[in-house]
Amino acid sequence: MKIRNGYIMPVLLMLLGALMGFGLLYMKNDYNINIIYTGLVIECLFIVVYSIVVFTRMGDKFLVLFSFMLISIGMLMICRLDIEQGLKQIVWVGVGFVAFFGAYLVYYFIDIWERYWYLYVGLSVILFILTLAIGRTVKGSRNWIGVGSIAFQPSEVIKILYIMFLSCHYSGAWTKPIKEKITPSVMTAIVTYLFIGFLVLQRDWGAILVLFSIYIFMIYVYEKNPLFLAVNVGAALIVAFLGYKFMHHIQLRVTAWLNPWEHIEDIGYQVTQSLFAISAGGYFGKGLGNGAPYYIPEVHTDFIFSAICEEMGVFVGAAVILLFFLLAYRCFKISLKATNPYNKSVGLGVTLMFSLQCFIIIGGVIKFIPLTGITLPFVSYGGSSMVVSFISLGILQAISAREERGERSE
């Protein structure tokens, strides 16, 4: 009875909702059979992944459920915008599915992650240098590396490496100073500002905001010296002011945020079209296929939330936010329950990463904060984001499984 009520009913509701959504889109889109195939693949993948998680006792049962709910909403909108992109995204979801179990197995069976802070820094620096040396510049940011027809964003991988690096210190595993005055706290600050310097050269403002926000929150949770937190917050404000003062790109973003209506024909166009779309959708939306999301540039990546609100309504947009709240709640719960200090710290870092990305991108498209170019995890179109999100989920799943099975290392 517990399995039926606790696990089966949410699955049936999720599958029924996805089936109805893809069925409506199929009829609206001239009975394109690829839409049905896409919906069936999503549902089959979910059934396989969820069944393995439940019956092999892989820890928390709701991480996969909430993430696949978000994926279903995102896939529905991507297929409505461009079925070809929807078919490509299915491939990345499948790769993410493999990456999820790979990350779970590797993290679960290897228990020496807290020893190698220098390895995480070294790998990140190599990725930064490769990006600057052979990377591609897309929309003003040099943050892509191409291998044949496949391109990925190294900064997505660096986010996980950075969290694992911070956790080496904040878990208490790394306590020895490198030199007399270079304590682990000082070293984490040096590495953080080094990473930010690389990201400034790449003009990847979204990644800067995510990484530095994770750092500030980790300091707030773990550091006992309030002066250290104040110094870093002050440094962040100074860097932000200097960036606004001397970097034209940041000035344009802030100007578009403060008064997009005055610049509606150029730098304010994206934000204003986003607000028009959300407003036009109302509470219940115009219906799949009845809106005009194509007026929003990059609607399938940065502005997919606006398209969801326009065609599915503000209520569905609120449901997406609530799903992220629920996902964050389960992630925080896993982190709080973890008895291993390193796992606790990594769990907190990954939770912050998901939460901050959601806040930054949704806050940007509704004009709450200046817009930065990052994706909405599990929802937006993009292979790098999808795979790395699944890897992060696999790590959390492994931490949860260890607690559930009582395999705790103090």
Give the chain's domain count.
Answer: 2
pLDDT digits (tens, 9 = 90+) for 137-196: 777 778 888 777 777 889 999 999 999 999 999 988 888 877 777 888 889 999 999 999
In a domain, 182, yes or no: yes
Q: What is the DSSP string of 375-395?
A: --TTTSS-HHHHHHHHHHHHH
Q: Cα(4)–Cα(65) distance, rounded to whole angstroms?
A: 15
In a domain, 317, yes or no: yes
Q: Cα(344)–Cα(338) distance, rounded to whole angstroms?
A: 5
pLDDT digits (tens, 9 = 90+) for 91-143: 999 999 999 999 999 999 988 899 889 999 999 999 999 999 888 877 777 88
Question: Are 105 and 118 within one domain?
Answer: no
Among the candidates 203, 223, 246, a domain finishes at 246
pLDDT of residue 6: 57
pLDDT of residue 111: 85
Quote the distance between the C-alpha of residue 357 and its chain's center. 5
pLDDT digits (tens, 9 = 90+) for 250-297: 888 888 898 899 888 888 899 999 999 999 998 899 988 888 888 888
Question: Are 12 and 104 within one domain?
Answer: yes
**Containing structural domain, residue 66:** 2-110+252-404
Question: Are 398 and 284 within one domain?
Answer: yes
Q: Cα(238)–Cα(261) distance, rounded to whole angstroms?
A: 29
Average the pLDDT over 373-397 and give the result: 92
pLDDT of residue 410: 40
Q: What are phi and psi of 144, to 5 degrees?
A: -125, 145
pTM: 0.92
Question: Are 194 and 264 within one domain?
Answer: no
**188-212 per-residue burial string, b: 16 or more CB within 10 A, e: under 16:** bbebbeebbebbeebbbbbbbbbbb
**Are 78 and 300 contacting, i.e. CB atoms less than 8 angstroms apart?**
yes
pLDDT of residue 163: 96
Question: Are 190 and 213 within one domain?
Answer: yes
Question: Are 257 and 395 within one domain?
Answer: yes
Burial class (CB in 10 A: 0-12, 13-18, 19+), 269: middle
Q: Cα(139)–Cα(253) distance, rounded to whole angstroms?
A: 13
Question: Are 135 and 225 within one domain?
Answer: yes
Give bridge partners of residue 147 from the DSSP assignment: 150
Q: What are phi and psi of 135, to 5 degrees?
A: -75, 165
In a domain, 410, yes or no: no
Q: Answer yes or no: is pLDDT of 239 > 60.
A: yes
- Tokens 């089966």 found at: 8
Question: Are 263 and 283 within one domain?
Answer: yes
* Separation of first and last alpha carbons in the chain: 35
Question: Are 310 and 298 within one domain?
Answer: yes
Task: Note the maximum CA span of the chain.
Answer: 70
**Are 294 and 267 contacting, i.e. CB atoms less than 8 angstroms apart?**
no
pLDDT digits (tens, 9 = 90+) for 311-363: 999 999 999 999 999 999 999 999 999 999 999 999 999 999 999 999 999 99
Sheet of 141-147, strands arranged across: 136-138, 141-147, 150-152
In a domain, 57, yes or no: yes
Question: Are 264 and 205 within one domain?
Answer: no
In a domain, 52, yes or no: yes
Question: Are 71 and 122 within one domain?
Answer: no
Among the candidates 246, 265, 293, a domain finishes at 246
Question: Are 66 and 199 within one domain?
Answer: no
Give bridge partners of residue 138 from the DSSP assignment: 141
Among the candidates 211, 246, 281, a domain finishes at 246
pLDDT digits (tens, 9 = 90+) for 14-69: 888 888 888 888 888 778 888 888 889 998 999 999 989 988 888 898 999 999 99
Q: Answer yes or no: is pLDDT of 406 > 80.
A: no
